[in-house]
Structure 1
Amino acid sequence: MTVSDEAKAVHSAYPAVDLHADTLMWTRWLGYDLHTRHTPPLPLAAFGGHVDIPRMREGGMSAQFFGLVSLPLREKGAGLGRAVDEQIDALHEAIERRPGALRLVKHADEILACDREGRISALLGIEGAHALEGNLDRIDHFARRGVRYLGLLHFSANEAGFPAYGRGRRDERGLTPWGRELVARCEAASVLVDLAHINRQGFLDACELATRPPIVSHTGVLGAFEHWRNIGDDQLRAVADKGGCVGVIFCPRYVGGDGLGPVVKHLLHILDVVGEDVPALGSDWDGFIVPTSPLKDPTGLPRLTEALLAAKVPERVIGKILRLNVLRVLGEA
């Protein structure tokens, strides 16, 4: 797809913010260098190697939320929280090597400052409360280290509740008492509650409890494609009612096919159901997925802007999808 001058101008005016990429897992595991442009060796850019600073710059990105995972990275005898701390350490090491290229930030105004300085903003989010190891005080530790959101669940049950899919799945059960307290502790620490991967009842419980905007960092929507990974219109409304936002994933398996069309379909469905203040980007790059081919890495993001313009989405609304909804939620949190 050729990117028009109009799309380039819109994309330049609203440099993108993505809610979820698991790149630091590969940095911590394999020494993956954020400062080096990579070409993934596997067919279709399978599983990882999607994100680095050169390609973020080429794709017109402003900021990337890096998901911090624990369960796949746990070594024998090591705690789950340690795996998260080591990924944060890996980000700090990358920043120290080239501080003019990358900065760890927490707030929306810091992202704007980095935009002016020509630096990429890095933000942190934990994928799964397993990393707390049952200790609510750990959320304060991670907040001090810069974590801005906590996903309550991942692919297995934990002290907070039950996954939408995976080990310990129990669809009829909602948040546990510990999980309910965790929502309050996150809000007290100015950590956003992320509802990716949690089952429907726990999702709705968390939204009912929320006094600050929740997010769904990476997901599809059932109204665009039926899949266990995706959320329903009632869940969209629950997030919207609390002022939150929902990042659309770039995985063909979850959006219903390869290409830009399925991704745009999910974004349009969110617009139709809950309006322009909710949709955002939640790629899941580097998260053991094969991304849709036009969005196999950040360099494809201007094509998404072109596709949204072709779908008659107004420039102002595209700006909200690309960045402004996430910046608003960060500010309100």
Structure 2
Amino acid sequence: MIIRLLLLANIAILQLNAQTYQEIHQNAIVVDTHNDILMKAVEKGVIIDGDLSGKTHSDLARLKKGEVDVQFFSVYCDGGIKDPFAFANKEMDTLDAVIARNPDKISKVTNYAELLKAVKQNKIAAMFGVEGGHMIEDDLNKLKALYKRGARYLTLTHNVAPSWATSAADESPGLTENGQNKQVVLNSEGKKGLTEFGRQVVQKLNALGMMVDVSHVGDQTFWDVIQITTKPIIASHSSVYALVNNRRNLKDDQIRAIAKNGGVIQINFHPGFIDPGFDKKEAAFLEKHAAENDSLKSAGMDSFYAWDYLYREYSMEANSLRPPLSMLIDHIDYIVKLVGADYVGLGSDFDGINLTPQQLDDVTDYPLITKALVIKGYSKKDIDKILGGNLLRVLKANETN
């Protein structure tokens, strides 16, 4: 009888969770700090306010369906692009055009108060995040110009870094994509980390009220930032190094430092950052289809889009590479246990990654993260923080002088 009562109680709890996770998700302010759909809009000509189902992870209607309240749209180009500042503005133009066509659905906001107003009006609050310091072209005036257009964070480096900071790729020796030995790359002052100009960039970001983003940066650059910044920082799309030994993930001492700084780590959904076995499985897949991959690249296709084609062409094989949603939750849980629930959030990297965790097929599936957190035993208060409250706190803190 006691066992039967316990089973009934457990069933009742599960039913309650199933009923309430949607309400928790609806009532929270859901923030994603990194979505790369603008890259595909410019490079592939996709129309963000059209139906892109089956083609991309995101479009305007699906963001609404996933109940994403605040989206930071990544402004990104490869380090080899000529005139990256002009390219950044082209991507910003793309989103501005979408907003102009859909004023009842999405609004560009520039501060915490405007963000809350847009959310209250049931609009997506849109901001830009500039991914890569090379896009300011060593010019603080161009940084200020991007801020004026709505950029509210700068990722100091991408894999290819500016001359004034070293990236995680720069600071890590290893092999290139072509199997060549890669040496450590130093900044223009012949060392790792920030140059004097790089320090000026961080100080300018603090003065503007624009968040400093340490995703992609090398360890020395990270610690230089921690030493200099007067405002809370973010890692807009990074995960946990202790769970997956990847140079893009954050080590425990870095996580503790961000917490001490009052910042937040936004967990990246990329399988290679959340599943320790993914790289080996992906390498086997690419080796199996190497001839086709080489042919696509020989025809001028970028590696990212070549891999995207292969994953779609061989979708059953690709699906077997995708980690379970529970692995993503593990990274959130790790940070919560290490430093508390005030320092973690979501930075999906949707449309900047080829594969996603199982169940998270696109932006409509965000509520499943909330469901997983409810089942894991998280309180509504902590779920609200993880879904967006923590990032909003950091955004607001950066606005104050």
Task: Tell me the TM-score normalised to structure 1 length.
Answer: 0.92
Letter in 2 for 1:27: A
Aligned to 2:50: 36
* Local SS of the residue matching 1:122: strand
Q: Aligned-pair distance for 1:29?
A: 2.0
**Partner residue, 1:44:** none
Residue equivalent to 1:45: none
Q: By how many angstroms is 1:238 displaced?
A: 1.4
Structure 1 residue aligned with 2:272, among 245, 248, 253? 253
2:108 corresponds, among 104, 115, 123, to 104
Q: Aligned partners of 2:132 and 2:39: how far apart in 1?
A: 14
Q: Whose radius of gyration is greater, 1 or 2?
A: 2
**CA apart distance, 1:73:** 8.0
1:308 aligns with 2:373: yes
Q: Which residue of 1 aligns with 2:308?
A: none
C-alpha RMSD of the superposition: 1.9
Residues 214 and 120 (structure 1), Cα distance of their counterparts in 2 relative to 1, 3 Å cut:
same
- 2:91 paired residue number: 87
Q: Is the 8 A contact 1:249 1:281 kept in 2?
A: yes
For the pair 1:68 / 2:75, whether they are aligned, the reply is yes
Aligned length: 323
Hey, what's the Cα distance between the residues in 1 that align with 2:100 and 2:184? 41
Inter-CA distance 198–169: structure 2 relative to 1 (3 Å threshold): farther
Q: TM-score, normalised by structure 2?
A: 0.77
3-state SS of 2:259 partner: helix
Deviations 1:54-113 (A, max 9, x none): 111111210110110122683xxx411000000011111111111111111121222221
Identity, % of aligned pairs? 31
Structure 2 residue ranges without an equivalent (≥5): 1-14, 171-181, 279-322
Q: Secondary structure at the match of 1:206?
A: helix
* 1:238–1:33 CA distance, 2 compared to 1 (3 A): same
- Alignment pair present for 1:190 and 2:197: no
Aligned to 1:56: 63
CA deviation map 1:111-150 (0-9, x unaligned):
2211221211111010010001111221111111111000
1:131 aligns with 2:145: no
After the TM superposition, which of the residue ranges 164-173 and 109-118 deviates more from structure 2? Answer: 164-173
Q: Which amino acid aligns with 1:196?
A: S
Name the CA distance, whole Å, in 2 between partners of 1:329 and 1:95.
Answer: 25
Partner residue, 2:355: 290
Q: Tell me if structure 1 keeps the 8 A contact 2:265–2:345.
A: yes
Alpha-carbon deviation of 1:224? 2.3
> Structure 1: where are the runs of 5+ without partners?
42-48
Q: Which residue of 2 aligns with 1:46?
A: none
What corresponds to 1:7 in structure 2? 21
Q: Which residue of 2 aligns with 1:240?
A: 259
Q: Which amino acid aligns with 1:207?
A: I
Q: Quick one: distance in 1 between partners of 2:243 and 2:384?
A: 22
Q: Separation in 2 of the partners of 1:187 and 1:32?
A: 35
Deviates more, 1:16-25 or 1:225-234: 225-234
Match of residue 262 from structure 1: 327
| Higher relative helix content | 2
Q: Is the 8 A contact 1:70 1:81 kept in 2?
A: no
Partner deviation per Cα, 1:280-321 (whole Å, 9 max, x = no partner): 000001114311132221111111111111111111101000
CA-CA distance at 1:235 after TM superposition:
0.8
Q: CA deviation at 1:31?
A: 2.6
Distance in 2 of aligned mates of 1:120 and 1:134: 32
Whether 1:206 aligns to 2:220 is no
Shift of 1:169: 4.2
Amino acid of the residue matched to residue 125 of structure 1? Answer: G
Deviation at 1:37, TM superposition (A): 2.8
One-letter identity of the residue aligned with 2:267: V
Measured against aligned partners, the alpha-carbon deviations of 1:224-267 in whole angstroms (never above 9, x if no partner) come to: 22222211011111111111111001111110161211110000
Match of 2:387 in 1: 322
- Greater mean alpha carbon deviation, residues 94-103 or residues 122-131: 94-103
Matched, 1:180 2:199: yes
